[in-house]
Amino acid sequence: MALKIETFDNHSGGNALYKALSHPQTAQKVRALFEQLRHTQVALYDPLGLLDAVQEFYLSELSHLNITNIYAQKFEHIGKNYPSLGGLTSKPLTELSESSAGALLILAFDTAWMLPALTPFLPKGMKNYSFDDVRLDALRNEKTYLTPLNFATNFAFMREQDGLHTRLVTANYWHRYGAKDVRLSCILFGEQGQVLAEWEQALDPCEHTIVMDSQDIKKRFQLAPFVGQLFIQVIGAKGHDIVKYALETYSDDHTHLSCTHDANSWPADAYAGLPAPHKNEVVYFWIQNSHPVPIPANAIGLNVMGKKDITWLDQEIAPFASYRLSVSDLLPDAHWPQQVEVQAGKYVVRPRYEVVCKETQNQRIAHINVQRNDLKQTISTAELKPLFGKNYILPAPILPQSDFESLILPTPMSTTQTQLPLKVFIYDATGKAIAEQSLGILERDHTTVVDCRQWSLPSGHGHIELAYDEDLNVPVDGWLHGLFRYERGNHKAESSFGAHMFNTPLVYKNEPQSYAGSPPGLRTRLFLALSDSQNDATCFLIYPSSTHWHPFSETEFVLHNHKGEEISKYPVKIPCHGSYLFSYHQNFSEDLRRQAKGGYIIIRDITCRLFGYHGTWGKQAFSLDHMFGF
């Protein structure tokens, strides 16, 4: 039941055609065009072999057309049969002149270059239409339509109900890359997929803060309480075609506080890293349809990691609708520390899940990650060790041990990884190595949780690194992930991410990566959102190194106001293999914080790549997730 569409390829990147076809406003225009063509005979011309992808979104509309023939340009596409379109078989374009249809529909964008080649074969009086007729109004004058920068889009979870709120924060970072006339086009969808509000927002020509708060949106558009998703498109983007943001969910009574970063804007076949519920918790998986067609019943499924039995959701989900599924409804026997795989069929972008404590009703939201289905266990870490040292490293905080419990659950994140040969490295904040321990060979269905309380850190906090254990001689795929859970009193926060190579001048298969530029990625530019509440914005920076690198970082916390103007800098030297716990309230004075109200911090370092986690800490609750850069 999975969608037969190309979304994201790890070699070629994102598919702009997918973004164009699935865009909510494109869907409206396509349906209007097809309605216009319903009363005439139509010939389809499929020059690029896109008809299969078009059917995934618009089969219902196509089936109502009086299609006489399908014509192809490429030899390998001629003779293809389409049972869903009355059993029509594609013919060569050269036979178009024999068509009796009154209209020709070209299934492609950017068709101007194709039209001269069609002229000799067009029957007299035949009108031609194409997907150029359904271009978005904001992009109608673009010379080339199907470019990733034209479709810098993303979705964000958005809730404003029952005393729970959502706050999205980012900056106009496209200005840094030369974008001048940038604006946001936004559509807020309700729980049933209905459009609650639409608006455009012009951005100033500077790196100013962008804030979208559910309370403000509700008031501005006089909405009833809602839960759903916000679709965001950046018009005029340069430099980055992904809309990155920090998303905070919070409550009136200060007991609910979570943060996640941007959703990966490309839907995938499968996701992993969804925790099964603890005995005193309910885990809800938020299914948010990213497409203008329904998710059919039995198209979304869950299974316990390492188990073949999949339980499918017998529920249709409307276009752009949101559905909160209790994991226990499908997997009643699953329990922490088991993990759950999501068979998603390319219907959703990186989904979020919500955990509710049965006793206290405390809530937290986190995200799961893409499970790769294109990897093989071909990496010999023993071969890499002479040149790349520890090679792939997955660093995570060990938060202050006097207040927090830090738990790590390794997660297999490719469909072919059946065994994980792992070890852990424990470091004090000063960079001192505390321990190194093999976890052995973990099977795909393992339930091994690493409890960091077993190590006492002299500085009170530090970090853990998951890495492959090369001594065990088990092939791996380089896609090691982990789920990191932190507990303080009655509140918990969690995050998940994957391993990279860090701070080595040699390059292996596009590693080490950087937030900007090509590998080796030895620079840092991270975004830290600031809260105007009494809660303290925090981040935890880790200086991991696969091999020996600079003994200390040259890190700066650069404070900006809401206009993107620099207010102050705070320099920090982090020892290699060390870490740094940053507090906005402690590191910047009250006067500087007043000047920077509504602003943000950029964490910069040109000597090394740091890995960071951001959050907001209050007296009753706290949040934590890994950071993003641009």
Closest CA to 217 of 288, 156, 167: 167
- Write out pLDDT tens, residues 381-420: 888 999 999 999 999 999 999 999 999 999 999 999 999 9
pLDDT of res. 520: 84
Contacts for 75 with CB less than 8 Å, ≥ 6 apart:
none
Question: How many whole angstroms separate alpha carbon 269 and alpha carbon 343?
Answer: 6
Per the listing, tokens 């907001």 go with 616
Residue 122 structure tokens:
């067009």
* Cβ atoms < 10 Å from Cβ of 33: 17
Question: How many whole angstroms separate alpha carbon 303 and alpha carbon 286?
Answer: 16
DSSP states of 264-289 as a string? PSS--SEEEEEEPPPTTEEEEEEEE-
* Cβ atoms < 10 Å from Cβ of 534: 9
* Cβ atoms < 10 Å from Cβ of 119: 8
The 3-state DSSP class for residue 201 equals strand
377 pLDDT band (50/70/90 cuts)? confident
* Mean pLDDT (whole number) for 164-174: 96
Residue 100 structure tokens:
């009796």
pLDDT of res. 415: 92
For the cut 90, the answer to whether the pLDDT of residue 440 exceeds it is yes
User: Among the listed ranges 120-129, 372-381, 406-415, 558-567, which one has the minimum average pLDDT value?
Assistant: 372-381
**Measured between alpha carbons, how far is residue 412 from residues 261, 409, 422 in Å?**
21, 10, 11
pLDDT of res. 515: 65
For the cut 70, the answer to whether the pLDDT of residue 68 exceeds it is yes
Domains and CATH numbers, the chain: 8-139 (3.40.50), 147-351 (no CATH), 381-626 (no CATH)
pLDDT of res. 85: 94
**Measured between alpha carbons, how far is residue 571 from residues 269, 274, 326, 440, 557 in Å?**
43, 37, 46, 40, 6
* Mean pLDDT (whole number) for 184-197: 98
DSSP states of 518-576 as a string? SSS---EEEEEE--SSSSEEEEEEE---SS---SB--EEEEEE-TTS-EEEEEEE-PBT
pLDDT of res. 629: 86
| Beta pairing partners, 253 | none
For the cut 80, the answer to whether the pLDDT of residue 14 exceeds it is no
* Mean pLDDT (whole number) for 524-529: 95
pLDDT of res. 609: 94
For the cut 80, the answer to whether the pLDDT of residue 459 exceeds it is yes
Residue 96 structure tokens:
């178009």
**Using only C-alpha atoms, what is the Rg of the chain?**
26
pLDDT of res. 11: 63
Contact 482, 396 (CB under 8 A): yes
Contact 37, 62 (CB under 8 A): no
pLDDT of res. 196: 98
12 pLDDT band (50/70/90 cuts)? low
pLDDT of res. 261: 86
For the cut 70, the answer to whether the pLDDT of residue 431 exceeds it is yes
Share the mean pLDDT of the chain: 94
Contact 530, 588 (CB under 8 A): no
* Cβ atoms < 10 Å from Cβ of 219: 11
Per the listing, tokens 């390319």 go with 346
Strands 209-213 and 164-171: what pairing? antiparallel
Question: How many whole angstroms separate alpha carbon 89 and alpha carbon 107?
Answer: 16
Cite the DSSP H helix spans in 431-487. Answer: none
Task: Label residue 475 exposed, middle or buried (CB < 10 Å: 0-12, 13-18, 19+).
Answer: middle
Burial 353-367 (b: 16+ CB within 10 A, else e): bbbbbeeeebbbbbb
- Write out pLDDT tens, residues 591-619: 999 999 999 999 999 999 999 999 999 88
Question: How many whole angstroms separate alpha carbon 160 and alpha carbon 154?
Answer: 19
* Mean pLDDT (whole number) for 135-141: 90
